[in-house]
Structure 1
Amino acid sequence: MNKKSFLVFLVIFYIFYMSAGSIPAKADGIDVSKSISDEDGPNVIDTISVEKKNIIVPNWQKVIVTIKNSNGMGYIGGSFTGVKDMTVSYKLPSGSYTQVHLSKDSSSDSSFYGYMSTYYSETGEWTVANITEYFYNGGFRVYFDKSEGGSYELDGGNYTVYASDTAGPVFKSVSVDKSRILVGGSSTVTVEAEDILSGIQSVSLEYLFPNNNYISVTAESIGNNQYQFSFPSYLTSENYGMGKFDLVSITIKDNLNNATSIYDYSYYRTGDLSGGDFTTVQDTEGPVLNSVSVDKTKILTGDSVTITINAVDEFSDVENISLNYSLPNGWGVGFNAQYIGNNQFQAVFPSFITTGDYGLGKFELTYVTLTDTKNNSTVISDSKFNPTGILDGGDFTVMPESDPPTVKSISVDKKEILSGNSVKLIAEVDDASGVKNVSATLLKPDGNTYTLTLTHSHDNVFEAVIPENETVNGVGNWSIYNLWVNDIYDNSTYIWSNLVNSWGEDLTGANFHVNERDITPPYPPSASSIDENSTLLSGYSEPGATVSATVNGVLIGSAIADSNGYYEFSIVEQAAKSQILITATDSSGNTSQVTRIIVKDVTPPAKPEVDEIYDNSTYITGHAEPGSNVYVYANDHYLGSSITNESGVFSIEAPSQSAGTELHIYVADDSGNTTGPTIIVVKDGTAPEKPEVSGVTEHSSIVTGSAETGSLVEVKKSGDSIGSVTADSDGKFEISIPVQPAGTKLEVTATDKAGNVSEGTTVVVKDVTAPGKVTVIDLTDQDIAVSGEAEAGTTVEVFANSSLIGKGTAGIDGKFSINIQRQKAGTELVVTSTDNDGNISEATTVVVKDATAPDKPIVYEVTDKDTSVTGQAEAGSEVKVKVNDTVIGTGTTGENGHYQVDISAQKAGTELVVIATDTAGNVSETTTIVVKDATAPEKPVVNQVSDKDTTVAGQTEAGSTIEVKKSGSVIGAGTAGEDGQYLVAIPMQKAGTELVIVATDAAGNISSTETIKVTDKTAPSVLTVNSVSDKSKEVTGKTEVGATISVKIGTKIYAAKADTNGNFKVIIPAQKAGTKLIVTAKDAAGNVSAAKSISVLDKTAPVTPSVTTISDQAKVVTGKAEAGSIVTILIGTKKYIAKADAKGNFKVTIPVQKAGTKVIVTAKDAAGNVSVAKSVIVIDKTAPTAPKIKTTVRSTTKEVTGTSEAYSTITIKVGSKVIGTAKADSKGNFKVKIKAQKKNTILIVTATDKAKNVSKATTVKVK
């Protein structure tokens, strides 16, 4: 339907609207998803909805519309009334429109429905454009959606169409109801998932159990997109281990088999499934203390305190709570708390312990011990010796009195000070119990406050100092704002100044005034110039200021500046460059900034000490004044300069100068003072070049070469001269020397005419004689070294086929040993030696000998059934087989090294020794092989095994290994003895378990298996019995699945059977409190558990106590309650307690109460059951005080005034006749009108309160 069609539709709508009086007007803004008000008339659209919000094509969508205030189908005035049918128009994803017809639901006048077909071409969101109601009288009404320009929200009918469904369901969450459960308990896992198109077909969960088995389970739908699986007790029993049940995967399939899987393995993870994990545990943990509190943290002596403990136990009930208190006198006291419901326990601290006999102060809860019904305990210690927790909530303080401290006085030591000075605040306070804290708050001149804590000084005096830094900027009046004093029991006194609050007190004794001080320092003084010879220092400063001069912190002089500011004073001579610090201090103590002057240096330095300088020198060195500049000149030409170091040393780099040159050296200090020149002459210091020397051999008698012309050339041996000569004009020289042995070191030097000696030239006498022939020791193909003798120190080399295979050096004794790789027999080795001068000896040839035995033979397996021995050995070698050194067979290996030696069959366990001998007679190592056993043992005999046994016993082949298996896994192993008996340790097994026993002999031969079943000999181990009260008519608990439970009460026995989860319920008659029940469990095998005895608990509250009348003069409350019960009187927040006697009578002492006070009375029996409370109102039994008459009554008086109890009725009599009455107002004032009485008439005046109590009479005589 297009927009134009809608306009036509609207025109028709208005025509019918004008003619159909029963059609309601359009209600703008009405949300059809909500209920429509009755004001909109009958037959108003109420809701629109669809069967599926998401749908796949091709399909049918059910559309439902409901109306409100339907008048059904009626017949009024000759025509039908009410809604006949409807249409709903949809806007399609393509933008076009379609329509569905809705008929009335036969079961309801208010509901209409129809089916809309879906199209492949229109996938996407289908939105409601309008709803049209058609009435029996021919009229109609249209509801347009806001998206179509209307006023209605019709979104409830919108839905989405999909072409196909290929996606898996959406996983949303996983959780467990209990993350920790007892072994054998139940935990329910809930998975939330959704598939908006096809719906979910199945949800599979895979768990890793504590015993490392993987088990899959299926969750069932519980509606609202949730799926659950409850773990049965047999899966959480110890059969599958105890510990973490780890959800490792979830697979969710929709009805089209599209699947979504989430993995949370330790080795592969696509999502977090930890929400589905839970843990099984044994109940070994004690209860948990949540909180401890007291109803009063401070009490007076003799008062009582109620301690409340909140505690829970995860798996059991809290059975007992005991408390231990440390008392102020060092003693301790302990008692138990009683259960009052809602996880709370209470105990009343006895008032006789708080009387002060056990000390005053803190009563500290030091230990709380909580025990559950499984006898698991938790101990919390808050003692200083072994603290494990905090129990401060159970502490309270007993005080002898509650009076606050008294302030006697407060003052300051100075009422007026200068800024920057301190003030002492002094308070005298007193308290009977002792003062703990005193603090004061002062109001500063700037309006801010300053708080300080006063500390104890002496007697009752406390003091504190307001420091200088607080008064520096605090010029003006300081006043006390308030004073707070606290005693050791935290009783406090607050005193406010009447300067702050009109109702405050006069604290002006602690007020003081801060005056502003001169804080401007003088300007820095000026000073005259000073040198190292000066003895007077002068200058200008602030008139009257004291001018002081210091050097290195030592005062060297001072003076007071005159009226013009001039000052001068004598000083001792100061070292040059000393720093003098000069300051001026005025009469207020303000000191100026420092004026610094440096003592001038006017003395030239001393002449330098200069080291000798040679023509080859490039540095000029020496000593001069430290820190001075040293300058060097040659022939008025500047060569260089340097600054001396702290020690006065200088070093100046300069070009070398010719011998005989005069150098002029000057020194200038950093003040510009310069010395005269120091003249130094350059000396000759250049040595000749070292001589060049020709070679010298062990046969030479002349040394030749060249050196500096005219220099003396000398040859030395070991420092001694063995010849010398003067070099000729060409520098050539020939020196005769004795013949020297090879290796001798000769040193040749040249000395010039100035005595400068050249570096020495070292010449080694050469060796030109070859070493002797090498001697070599025979070697075999097993040797890895060549040994022999050669000339000492020569290099020995070994060659094979012209290749070097080893090298070494002969020792000082000529012996050598050179490592080589093993060489084949017959290989020729050539050995030579070379001395240090390269002279090579004649070669020595050696042939390698054969000395290698064959490898030990390889022998293949031999059994007790074989008649030959086979294997591998060196080709062509002879192979022998021996038993006990006797040859039982011989053979020869072929070219491929294989052999086969025939033997007779040998017994299992026989040792065969096999050996090979090569053609050179070398014998191999032996190979030993044991003949193997190839015969399997007989099937083992097994004795009976029960579920209590931890061993398996029986008979099998001696020495064989016995294995006991369960479900394919070995659970125990052992070895049979010499007699074949065996005993194998195993874990205790469940009844019915199949055990498989197999024997394996030493040779690995395996017998056939023997299977046995474990017999049941174990009584049920789990027997948990829930508490039974005197109101119970059943005994419940948990035990072994299928066990028969017997409950014995006296001589009678009641029985029932445990269900598949082990839960049981035995019906019994109601029993009296204290009755003992004996409970046992018997399994199907007839094993009976240990008996469990429980006592019937008292859960019947006492009857409501009866209470006698309580008046406003009563000091005791009496009445009747259950015999022996604890009667508690509650008045406001205070409790008063007493115990009913054997007859139920009780008497509780209380303070006198005001009339109208509500008194609550309860009784608690020994089991902690509390009765219904009895409420009693204190009645008024106290007469008003006698009225006071203000009026002087005369014979003319007609009104008597006075005061009495507020609201009381005032009666005035003369004799027994009442002459006037009136009612006192809220303040007790009254006015009674009377007739004038005669003089001397006696008036009797009384007051009667609301409770009709009459006061004593006041008599007045008429004047």
Structure 2
Amino acid sequence: MITGVATPGWTATAVVNGNIFSSKVDKWGNVYINLGRTFPGGSEVIVYQLNPEGYIVDTIKTTMSGVVPPSLNAPMVNPVYTNETTVCGFSNAPNVRVTINGQNFYGSTTSGTGAFTVQLGRTYPVGTRIDVYGERDGQVSPVSTIFVQQKNIYIETPQLNPMTTADTVVTGMSNESLVEIQIGNNIYKAYPDSTTKKFSVDLKRTLAAGTKVTAYGVKEGQRGPSAAITVTEAVKVDPPVLNAVKSTDTIVTGSSNAPLVEIEIGNATYKAYPDAKTGKFSVNLGSRLSAGTKITGYAVKNGQRSSGTTIYVEQGVTLSPPQLNPINTTDNVLSGTSNAPIVEVEVQNTIFRVEPDASTGKFSVKLWPLPVGTKVTARAIKDGQTSSDTVVYVKQGIVVSPPQLNSLTSTEKVLTGESDADKVIVTLGGDQTYTAKPDPDTHKFSIQLDKTYPEGTLVSAYGIKSGVESSTTTMYVTKGNIQLKAPLINAVTTQDTTVSGTADPNTTIKLNISTDSYEAKVDAEGNFKVLLDHTYPVNSLISVYSTDGQHKSLVTNAKVVQGSFKLGVNMITDTDRILTGMALPNSKIKVQVGNRIYEGQASTLGTFMIQMSQSYKAGQNIEITATDPASGRTESKVIIVYPESPSINTILPGTSAVSGQASPNAFVVVQIGGQNYSGLANAAGYFFIAINPNDAVVGAEIAVTQISNNIESLPTRVLIGS
């Protein structure tokens, strides 16, 4: 900044080393020219003012004076420790020089703070002298001298395993990355494993009894506390005997006369304690080992290890895992097949052992209803070998909705409701139980109670369908009014000549059906039955109400519904393409195989024949539905496809094999002379099963069945001729 005085309102201009700066003179004649930066001492300065006409007036020429720099102080230096590679501190000089053992290191300070950091490139031992100088334009500050200090760090004491005069290796454990072993004047270095923390040093020689072995953990060049042992006289310990281990085994077995055996596999060590009498031991590994894996066993007695016994895992024979059939929440039995003599099943921490059928391989285990998602595991066991696991998860079974109960008052003796279950169990007051079977079409049910129940009585109900129970519905009996309820009538079909139901006890039923009228009495239990002159066609209107002579109930309306009809389906095998059966005459027939639909119509006699485009494998479910075109009532049935009975080629007395044709890859069973023989058909369905020729005598019966997709066919029987 250049300041001074000039003519008010005129322009003052400064030229510094050829740089031009201007400013207006204020009304008091003060001049302030901002240069925006500093200029070195000795710089030429020319200042002049311009009058309003722009002419230069009053020129002044001068020279800038220099700034006298401050004196250099000795730097302030932070302590330096044995683990550090930098020198840090503060200085009023722009540059810093560090001298250590005649070697110089340089750095610069931070503008404004004077802080500096000088990189040394390495650590220095305790006591090393460090000289630090500040430098500026050839000037050197007074020296600051410090000495390297010891850095205190935590080092964990290592662990040394006992040694005897028979050992040549020092072993132990340490959490440090370096361990130094000192024996006399000799120092050995060991580097513990980063995972197991174990270390070992091979001395290539034995040590005399009484020799002291000392170990130190080392970190950042410092030694930690020591651990020491003294070599003891060796006691001969016999190595253990290891039995062969296969790749299918999960257990290592053997024998030893020592109280402890250590098994080393890779970085893992397992301990076993031999039986005091037999000397036998076993170690459960929890998993299988690959063929070729090295296993070494050591006997340990009185703190001393024997020499090692080493074996290598042999290739085992893979055992096929069992096959499990699907299981639902409503199932109580788990089934499957296996060619092993024993199958182990694990469910919710409970283990079952079963023996599959020797001929079919089938097995089953009685369980309990399991929740959705429960894990079920099975494994085969043979000759001490265990297969891999087969796992299935419990799927959702049939879900039964809880019943819907209509209100019940203290004056009513009939309880009604709806349920899609096969039957409904109702309990009143906690001790009186009733059972109802809902109508299969309307799902409605009605229960005649043996008495009325007081207000507040608990009513609970649950449904049962295919053995599965629903949750419970509860309500309470309410206070009743003297009011006749609308009668409840049971479904009336085209086959019925009676109309039955319930109404208030000892009242009269008035019934109209089509154009006819009927009247009947309700008994003391609230039941009524109206005898009809004849049956009525489907959709005939029904109206009914009850009266006690003074009061009239609400009207109940209904219609005559189609009566039930029978649906019969003949057996079908995996070679058939035509499905036949019997249903309601002229009914519509629908056949569903998976997602494939076939349709047809029953004849006037009720027989039907449905042509399919192909045959289906054994075990395939087929759903057949017959529908009455007039009422829409349907009847359904599900069948399964059975394997065709096998064909048998000609059999002569004394033959040693039975051959024939079955389903591709089917399991074929031959029965002759009280013996079972079995085998598999090939992909073309041909089978050839060896039998005892002594059983193939004249007049002997041979029965052959096949099992395809777990479904057994009807047997084919032949007699051996002469």
| Greater C-alpha radius of gyration | 1
Normalising by structure 1, report the TM-score.
0.18
Q: Larger relative contact order (C-alpha < 8 A, sep ≥ 6)?
A: 2
